[in-house]
Structure 1
Amino acid sequence: MTEPAEKLRVDKWLWAARFFKTRSIAADAVESGKVTLDGARIKQAKTVGVGDVLVIRLGPYQHEVEILELSGKRGPAPVAQKLYRETDESKRKRAIQAEQNKLLPQSELKGRPTKRDRREIARLVEGERPSRKSAWGDFE
């Protein structure tokens, strides 16, 4: 599963370690600054080696991982998890963030608004009072 090479492109390693679903998504994340190497922004073609420390932002969470092995092939998740070790501080911060996210109020909205909901929203935006209409005419 591992390559004998001492260096590997960061986007290829992120894909093989299953942080991103595709290599192009991994490359976009590196280019947009969501992945840093030893605290510095990098480009997608940057080579990484064993012992390097990457900080990877995935949504609201931040993973700080040390590279233990290099692999250019994407394998099963248990094998991919052996490619890196997440720091204890990173795990603790992610646990705190997860707890804070659970405490946030959840939206009661589910999906797209219906046609009726859109009309009510439009009336509110225009400053009109919402009204009830019957099938026989406009009764207020």
Structure 2
Amino acid sequence: MRVDKYLWCIRYFKSRSLATQACKKGAVRINGTIIKASREVFPSDKIVVRKNQINYEIEVLDLPKSRLGAKLVDLYRKDITPKEAFANSELLKFAKDHYRKRGTGRPSKKDRRDIDDFTKPDGEEE
């Protein structure tokens, strides 16, 4: 089975074309090598998929005949993603929320001045 079809079948991507694009971008590796979407997958292969800034590590247990329900996915793959990967994504979320909450509108005049002061090179004045 092709790797893009396998990733679609085990519900890592919503469509096969998204799985193919991920392979073209180099976000999918099998046993440590970047692969094309047409690469065949075999049981006992280790797949690393980079998605949402997390490297998901999957071990292929068996090949499904078609797309699976969410409850049956664990019969065909073993998720060996380290817990630290998910913890790092949580820290990344906190780093993005500097001090303004999302959806609070435009920056105030004071916020704009602070941003300008922060982005100016040292020693430069208006």
**Structure 1 residue corresponding to 2:40, chosen from 25, 34, 47:** 47
State the identity %: 29
1:74-122 Cα shifts (integer Å, max 9, x gaps): 12111123211122xx2322232134235425153645967xx7xx7xx
Q: 1:72 to 1:32 in 2, by over 3 A?
A: farther
Distance 2:104 2:7 in 1: 35
Gaps of 5+ in 2: 117-126
**Structure 2 residue corresponding to 1:101, chosen from 80, 89, 92:** 92
Distance 1:113 1:81 in 2: 43
| SS of 1:66 mapped into structure 2 | strand
Moved more, 100-109 or 36-45: 100-109
Q: Which residue type is aligned with residue 84 of structure 1?
A: R
The normalised TM-score by structure 1 is 0.67
**Structure 2 residue corresponding to 1:13, chosen from 6, 13, 20:** 6
Gaps of 5+ in 1: 1-7, 128-140
Q: Which residue type is aligned with residue 13 of structure 1?
A: Y
Larger Cα Rg: Structure 1 or Structure 2? Answer: 1
Pair 1:59 & 2:52 matched: yes
Q: Which residue type is aligned with residue 78 of structure 2?
A: R
Pair 1:73 & 2:45 matched: no
Please provide the CA RMSD for this pair: 2.7
Q: 1:110 to 1:104 in 2, by over 3 A?
A: closer
The normalised TM-score by structure 2 is 0.74
TM-superposed deviation, 1:31: 1.1
